[in-house]
Amino acid sequence: MDFIIKFAQTHETFRLAEIRALALIEGVDLKVVEYSDQSPLCLVSLPSAEAAQKLIRRSILAQSIHEFWAKGTTLAALHESVKLRTAHLWSQFKEPSFKFDVEYFQGGRTAAQRLAIINSFDYLPFDGPIRMKDPDHIFTVFEIWPFDSVPLGIENPDMVYFGRFVAASSRDVILRFDLKKRGYISTTSMDSELSLVTANIALAAPGKLFYDPFVGTGSFPVACAYFGAMGWGSDIDGRSIRGAGGQKSLRGNFEQYNLQSCLGDVFAADLINSPIKRGRRIWDGIVCDPPYGVREGLRVLGLRDPEKTPWLIEKGKKDGSLPDFVPPKKPYSFFAMLNDILDFASETLVDNGRLSFWMPTANDEEQEIPVPTHPCLEVVAVCVQVFNKWSRRLITYRRISDDQVAPKALGAYHARDKAESFGTTADELNPFRRGYFRKFEADE
């Protein structure tokens, strides 16, 4: 059976990645028949209406799914297609209540025109009552118009679709988790929509363990917990986790949404100085938004030059266990951070577990930072959120099984030149930071 997915007009490059991830989570056989990021509609093939309901029920970027009845380049062609494709279905809708809607993209219709379109379907033998509120069935005409059709005075759409409403998505959940209503946030807290989308693409689901090594105020673990996963997290700065205590803390955010049962634990640590043992593959998913190092340079626990500051080593040995001890930090390379994220994921993700993390880059091709790779990780999706002169990508990987990893590729990866980790200043260690403050103007 074919169905029409209607997407919200936002985050176009994330749409298919989320829908395909949801098909894996729900165990639904999905085939994308027709899609363009220039249109809010996607035509897909699914086994049944029940499968369509399962696919869409936790989607954030989709709005609804409809049983596909017909399409045509004109209204007349649409009617011919309806009669040809669906005459055998009409008897099922003879008695139930119903209503018709007309929706349009990049175009417009007057009330009289919409009524005329609806009345043109009067050949359908639907004898049930018309109900504008809570009808048994909703039939929708979707019109896709050319860009700028209203100011250009274009009179007809490019394509017209017709379908029967099957189910709505969970897009309204965005408002429930809106940061404006959350008790504890910071300037870098990820907004609710993208947190939930990230959790979907990473396959968060009941019975799974998810971890955020840059947890901050907990946006990603909260989103994963909403979908039933057990959330864990750590941060180099324990103060961001603790907040002011009570409701003004990461734990307070879980309590606000009544998700305490899905919070594993949180602790202060950085990615390369972590109590989590490498080689113990326990995580079903790792989701994070690493620091970009713009406000201040990237930092990691440690000393820049231990030989010149031996007293700091002794202070750490003496006071390290005290609750008010603040460990020293040293500059951290942007590329080293990316490599460490991939290394950590390769050593701690279960087979087919997913790593989804956000990475900034310049829009200029000459300054664009390439997508990092690892022999144990397969790139599943690269979704892009564009700003002015820079973008941030949500890069998702799948941990392949060890028997699929090429030994030569793994050996070459571990033997690679790590010169990109060298440098002393924040700008030397972070090409994105350097480009950001230069407004991404190319070097002469």
Dump pLDDT digits (tens) for 10-40.
999 999 999 999 999 999 999 999 999 999 9
What pLDDT sits at residue 419?
A: 45
pLDDT of 396 reads 98
Residue 46: its pLDDT value, please? 98
DSSP 362-401: ESSTTTPPPPP-BTTEEEEEEEEEE-SSEEEEEEEEEE--
Buried/exposed 334-372: b ≥16 CB within 10 Å, e otherwise = bbbbbbbbbbbbbbbbeeebbbbbbbbbbeeeebebeeb
Distance CA 51, CA 67 (A): 11
Structure confidence at residue 422 (pLDDT): 53
Q: How high is the pLDDT of residue 443?
A: 52
How big is the CA angle at 251 (ends 227 and 323), to the nearest 5 degrees? 140
In angstroms, what is the C-alpha Rg of the chain? 26
The DSSP code for 178 is: -
Specify whether the CB–CB gap between 377 and 346 falls below 8 A: yes
**How far, in Å, are 7, 198, 277, 287 from residue 271 at the CA level?**
36, 20, 11, 13
DSSP 147: T
State the pLDDT at residue 234. 96
How far, in Å, CA of 109 to CA of 395, rounded?
40
Measured CA to CA, the distance from residue 160 to residue 15 in angstroms comes to 21
The amino acid at residue 199 is: A
pTM, whole model, 2 decimals?
Answer: 0.93
pLDDT of residue 424: 65
User: Strands 62-72, 159-168: parallel, antiparallel or unpaired by DSSP?
Assistant: antiparallel
The tokens for 373 are: 């790779």
Positions of the chain with pLDDT lower than 50, given as ranges: 419-421, 444
CA–CA distance, 235 with 273 (Å, rounded to integer): 11
- Tell me which H or E stretch contains 242: helix 238-242
Residue 313 pLDDT: 85
User: What's the pLDDT at 444?
Assistant: 44
For CA atoms 209, 214, 218, 222, give the dihedral sign: negative
pLDDT tens digit sequence for 389-400: 899 999 999 999
* C-beta of residue 107 within 8 angstroms of C-beta of residue 154: yes
C-alpha to C-alpha distance for 168 and 72, rounded to whole angstroms:
25
Cα-to-chain-centroid distance, residue 187 = 20
174: helix, coil or strand? helix
